[in-house]
Amino acid sequence: MVAKRVLITAMAAFLAVGANAGWAEEGPFSVRLNPRLELESAEPAVIEGRIRGPLQRNEWMLPPTDYVKFSEDPWRSDRPIEDLIVDRVRPATCAALNALVDRGYEPWDEPVYLDDCKALRLLKRARPSRESFVRTLTMSVELVDVLPAMIDSGAIFDRLCDEYVAMNKGIPWSTYDEIVEVSVIDRFAMDVKAQHPKTWEEIDAFESVGGGWTRLETLAWGDFDGDGVEDMLISSSSHAMNWNLTDGYTTVARDSYGDVYMVSRDSPVAVLHVIDAESHLTPRLLDYEPCDYP
């Protein structure tokens, strides 16, 4: 039944999203950028200049948030979170911000520049592509029929592991979850409200399973992994996914901000896959690790 639904969804995705694209479009295709990044071009020197330049480029932009180093994982500790802070730094550039993240620092408040800084580092790898199966894909209601559920970056109860397996089976987000609402902002960004299914062993403890909003934004198109096929660079921020327990308590999944995914596909009817997906299966996002899958 699942396989049949996946096939039907894939064909619907082709008719709704991929029909205008036809089969593989032949390039070469230059790297395309979201205008919000305000980059003059995708030339490495231009990108490096932005990475080394100030995060707050004018007085109207938000100031960067502090990044903190914890002595232990605050999600697994009973101590007050303030007592776990061993260092606190406010980065002034993307270079400094990325270096802090690499060293295990986490944002103290909403990290308004985190996704852009991650994207800029990946953009240094972008090259023109010789063919594309994503050339005409933009944010739309139909896009959830070809996106993997793994791009919903909020994680709880090892859900991310299940999403990873579903992606490898070619199961799209719209099949894995119930998509309650899609609010398209423009061709680059949209909000998706998903209702998560009751699939865990502990489900008897739950009287209802809530959903959450995920903001997706396409930041660039280009060949990021060197295979000559065009990829998409998508940022994802998820928040407020609630599970109501039968004993009256509410469990809230950890919010996730500033995750950036490289996604691609090798057929106009295929579900998109996350490139280097294993790198996203990190202890920071998993409640029980590692994933118990081969």
Residue 225's pLDDT is what?
94
Record the tokens describing residue 241, joined without a space.
Answer: 């996914």
β-strands 206-209, 242-245: how paired?
Answer: antiparallel
Per-residue pLDDT for 20 more than 50? no
**Is residue 91 located within the same domain as residue 132?**
no
Instruction: Please answer whether residues 55 and 92 qualify as being in contact, where contact means their C-beta atoms are separated by less than 8 angstroms.
Output: yes
Report for 27-41, 145-159, 279-293: range of highest mean pLDDT: 27-41
**Is residue 19 located within the same domain as residue 55?**
no
Question: What is the mean pLDDT of the segment spanning 101-108?
Answer: 91
**Is residue 189 located within the same domain as residue 290?**
yes
Record the tokens describing residue 130, joined without a space.
Answer: 């010789």
Question: What is the mean pLDDT of the segment spanning 96-110?
Answer: 92
More confident site: 115 or 248: 115
Residue 16's pLDDT is what?
41
Tell me if residue 252 falls in helix, strand or coil. strand
Of 108, 125, 142, the position where a domain reaches its end is: 125
The number of domains in the chain is 2
pLDDT bracket for residue 85 (50, 70, 90): very high
Question: What is the mean pLDDT of the segment spanning 263-278?
Answer: 93
Q: Cα dihedral sign for 31, 237, 282, 177?
A: negative
Residue 4's pLDDT is what?
40
Mean pLDDT of the chain: 80
Percent of the chain with pLDDT over 90: 52
Residue 152's pLDDT is what?
81
β-strands 206-209, 189-195: how paired?
Answer: unpaired
pLDDT bracket for residue 154 (50, 70, 90): low
Of 91, 125, 159, the position where a domain reaches its end is: 125
Instruction: Please answer whether residues 255 and 11 qualify as being in contact, where contact means their C-beta atoms are separated by less than 8 angstroms.
Output: no
Tell me if residue 230 falls in helix, strand or coil. coil
Record the tokens describing residue 235, joined without a space.
Answer: 């940022």
More confident site: 196 or 146: 146
Instruction: Quickly tell me which residue has 């103290």 as its tokens.
Output: 108
**Is residue 178 located within the same domain as residue 157?**
yes
pLDDT in tens, 57-78: 988 999 999 999 999 888 778 8
Q: What is the pTM of this model?
A: 0.80
pLDDT bracket for residue 13 (50, 70, 90): very low
Lowest mean pLDDT: which of 63-77, 159-173, 250-264, 276-290?
A: 276-290
Domain residues for the domain of 223 are 1-31+128-294
Tell me if residue 147 falls in helix, strand or coil. coil
pLDDT bracket for residue 32 (50, 70, 90): very high
Residue 3's pLDDT is what?
44
Helix axis angle, 114-123 to 44-52, nearest 10°? 150
**Is residue 248 located within the same domain as residue 214?**
yes
More confident site: 20 or 260: 260
How much helix, strand and coil, in percent to the nearest 5, is found in the chain? 30, 30, 40
More confident site: 145 or 288: 145
**Is residue 156 located within the same domain as residue 168?**
yes
Of 73, 103, 125, the position where a domain reaches its end is: 125
Tell me if residue 214 falls in helix, strand or coil. strand
pLDDT bracket for residue 197 (50, 70, 90): low
Torsion of CA 272, 164, 205, 154, to 10 degrees: -70
**Is residue 269 located within the same domain as residue 137?**
yes
